[in-house]
Structure 1
Amino acid sequence: MDGTDRSKQYDVLDLIRALAAGLVCLGHVRALVIVDYAASGPHGGAAGVALQLFYALCSVGHECVIVFFLLSGYLVGGTVRRKMTRGDWSWRSYLADRMTRLWIVLLPALLLGLFWDSTGIHLAWGPFYQGTEGNAAQQIDISHNLGAAALFCNAAFLQTLACQTYGSNGPLWSLANEFWYYLWFPALYGAWHLRRTPQVLLCAVAALVTMSLFHGLVEGFSFWLLGVLAQALEARLTQIATIARLARRKWLVLPALLVFLAAIALTKHKPYADAAVALGFFVLLLAVLSTRIRIGHAGLSRLATLASGFSYSLYLTHFPLALFVAAALVKVRLPVSAGSLGLATLILLGCYAYAFAVYWVFERNTQRVRGLLGRPALPGAQRGQNI
């Protein structure tokens, strides 16, 4: 697709990304404030169905991270492919873009996490910060995980590889995955596509060595590569006459969406669940791209773009704040009720407002920082596609 066509796709991809980030945040707030489904008591009728749907929505955070991986592969990996094909690839420019994008939110998020965790330990020390409250979202003693070594380890994208995620901020785990995928793909693709100079081959060897060292990240890399594959297939699908005729039928996105939702519902907790979710979203992503569907309502389109714009900030900053509020106000998780749902909603809205403030101060200035570094932005990097 040309640039005009590509811009029409972004509001749908923005909506997907914004919903995924929101569901991650919702799941964490629920886990910190409201008891698990098994402890929620018997519920029948319409109320029971509604409750099951609520807990189901709150349980798909991990699946949403897989969605992020594919979107990142499509946007970042796809840009790498285009630039190498055009012959204007540069490691220096690419790394400047990627590191600016990652660090401009990560570094403030680490320091803000230190503030919230230290304040919580001093003012609300108890089971939430000790990791003994029983919720699935926070199960470590945070006081042991706030040192300078852990801070620098996370800033170097080595969390889960050489150290734990910093403080209470468990969601940082996926950022290490993204960083290494950003390095592995151009190193390996360059060895196949570019002139095989000693430097290019050395990068490929380094990628293979680190992949063997960090083998726990390789499965996620295969999901990331599905996003790259979607970008590679995107233009070819619309050039095939039969598929082009089908692509005009926007309703095809609906069965693709059902395939994705079925992959989540039917394979959860299975050994192959992550792969099933990745393949299900790959089908949905191809349907979105081939039909060139976009959001019809202008207001919803702008809202999706806005929410996607600060979803990276939301993902990196929400948990320490939500934990602090839960430890200070909730003390013990609450049963499902209008009051507990209302409190969870207020905390969720507070996380959004807080993340938007972080976005306004830091993330929205990404392009400005890149300009100061003298590096133009990657063509496909206008959206926040990094989680």
Structure 2
Amino acid sequence: MALADKHHCDTLDLIRALAAGAVCISHLRNLMFVDYRSSAAMGLAGKAFYFVSNYGHTAVIVFFLLSGYFVGGSVLRQVQAGTWTWQRYLTERMSRLWIVLIPALLLTMFWDRLGIALGGGSFYLGTEGTFDQQINVASHLGGATLACNLVFLQTLACGTYGSNGPLWSLANEFWYYLWFPACFVLLRQRRGFAAFAAAALALATMIAFPSLLSGFGLWLLGVILVVLERRFAARSVRTGLPWFTLASGAAFLAALVCSRLFLWSNDWAVGVPCFIFLRCILWENVRLRPALLSRIAIRFSAFSYSLYLTHFSFILFVAAVGFGHRIQFDARGVLVLMSMLVACYVYAYTVYLLFEQNTKRAQRSIQKFRFVRATPDSVTPHSGSRGSIT
């Protein structure tokens, strides 16, 4: 870690990249390898792998906090600067979501239909016994389900499309993106029919979708990070190690370990220590060094959204067609794990180059239309949405 000598917090990029990797590894383990209780003659290294490779859901909680910090923070800045418009905000958010979601849905259709046609068997019927895939995939490949996922109603009015179970969190993100500005703009401006209508819609959907409220609370913790950052200035000079960051990081790791040992199902038990850890990182201005580590963190963070949306159906296809059954985590299993991890990252990076990398270009093209002209935003540290899933 290094003293802050740059505005962008690459430490948050590292956390985001690690969270995306945790999701991918979790699904690799659950789809390709037998359950822990079915493993044969497993050594200490195997036991360690099974222990640390099941943090996929926890990683999404981290994404929620980062999303609140970046996306919610951009709302706070724009409203305060007087540049806020729903047109601009929705253009940015929807283009950011759809530019990867639409290709990901089509790729899910491709891998699932090909896997079913090639005799994927129990993996696609949901009878292989893996926790992450327990549905008949063919019944989730219809046009209605596709449309439902496009408008972010998966898990609320329909299932996730095909085998792509990770899509569940995208519905959460979308509604959080709407709820927060709808409520905040009303509280800040307190005038205008549009503000009251948006707040009423937010309240109605909160009542209609109560399952999203706990995650929204965690998302709001990310917004609180922005508020605290404004009220309490970050350290400009630091001598020695960032002790608060190290201590809070140790507490966060302890919470992660305890969540596995005691099977905690409460997301807040991990979310609150993560919030404290992120707050300490921002307060102590923790940055990465050497420069190579910083560049790697930024690069892998850049395509984490593509990785998140594309890996599952690809892994399922390889497991079902390439192997036909789940395998033991032995020496061969280690080789399979490493090969598949590399393949998933190369695959996701290709999707990133084709689609996600062009997000800004797509937004500029949309903003050329007269009805969505953008007002320049003030430049502030950590601007953008690099830390969220999207």
TM normalised by structure 1 equals 0.92
In the alignment, which residue of structure 2 is the partner of 1:59? 54
Tell me whether 145-154 or 377-386 shows the greater mean CA deviation: 377-386
Q: Which residue identity lines up with residue 252 of structure 2 in the other structure?
A: F
1:334 aligns with 2:324: no
Q: Does 1:23 align with 2:22?
A: yes
How far apart are 1:325 and its partner, in Å? 0.5
Task: Give the alignment of 1:169-188 within 5 angstroms.
Answer: 169-188=164-183
Is 1:372 aligned with 2:371? no
Match of 1:303 among 279, 296, 312: 296
Distance in 1 of aligned mates of 2:259 and 2:278: 19
For the pair 1:77 / 2:72, whether they are aligned, the reply is: yes
Q: 1:71-220 to 2 correspondence within 5 Å?
A: 71-220=66-215
Q: 1:270 to 1:34 in 2, by over 3 A?
A: closer
Instruction: Report which of the two has the higher share of helix.
Output: 1
Q: How many angstroms apart in 2 are the aligned matches of 1:247 and 1:232?
A: 26
Aligned residue in 2 for 1:312: 305
Report the CA distance shift for 1:350/1:170 in structure 2 as closer, same or farther (over 3 A).
Answer: same
> Does the 8 Å CA contact 1:120/1:324 hold for their aligned counterparts?
yes
Contact 1:37 1:55 in 2 (8 A): yes
* CA deviation after TM superposition for structure 1 residue 382, in Å: 5.7
CA distance, structure 2, for counterparts of residue 104 and residue 344 of structure 1: 29
Q: Does structure 2 conserve the Cα–Cα contact (< 8 Å) formed by 1:312 and 1:384?
A: no
Deviation at 1:198, TM superposition (A): 2.1
Is the Cα–Cα contact under 8 Å of residues 104 and 363 in structure 1 kept in the other structure?
A: yes
Counterpart in the other structure of 1:257: 249
Equivalent pairs counted in the alignment come to 376
Q: Tell me what 2:32 maps to.
A: 33
Verify the 8 A CA contact 2:70 2:385 in the aligned structure 1: no
Give the residue type in structure 2 aligned to 1:237. F
Q: Which amino acid aligns with 1:259?
A: A
- CA distance, structure 2, for counterparts of residue 72 and residue 184 of structure 1: 13
Whether the 8 Å CA contact 1:248–1:291 is kept in 2: the answer is no
Residue 344, structure 1, aligned to residue 337, structure 2: yes
- Are the equivalent residues in 1 in contact too, given 2:304–2:389 (CA < 8 A)? no
Q: Deviations over 1:268-301 (max 9, x none)?
A: 4656620111101101100110001000111111
In the TM superposition, what is the alpha-carbon distance from 1:105 to its structure 2 partner? 0.1
Structure-to-structure mapping, 1:228-267, within 5 angstroms: 228-238=223-233, 249-267=241-259
Asked if residue 276 in structure 1 is aligned to residue 269 in structure 2, the reply is: yes
| Structure 2 letter corresponding to 1:332 | H
Classify 1:260/1:180 alpha carbon distance in 2 versus 1 (closer, same or farther; 3 Å): same
Amino acid at match of 2:8: K
- Quickly say closer, same or farther: Cα 1:25–1:116, change in 2 above 3 A: same
Q: Which runs of 5+ in 2 are unaligned?
A: 368-372
Deviation at 1:248, TM superposition (A): 7.3
Give me the TM-score of the superposition, normalised by structure 2: 0.92
Tell me, in whole angstroms, the C-alpha distance in 2 between the residues paired with 1:201 and 1:382: 26
Distance 2:263 2:221 in 1: 20
Alpha-carbon distance in 2 for matches of 1:173, 1:272: 17
Could you tell me which amino acid in structure 2 is paired with residue 110 of structure 1? Answer: L
Retained in 1: the 8 A contact 2:186–2:199?
yes
Q: Deviations over 1:110-162 (max 9, x none)?
A: 00100000000001330111100001111101011100000010010000000
Percent of pairs identical after alignment? Answer: 48
Please state whether the residue corresponding to 1:373 is helix, strand or coil.
helix
* Aligned-CA RMSD value: 2.0
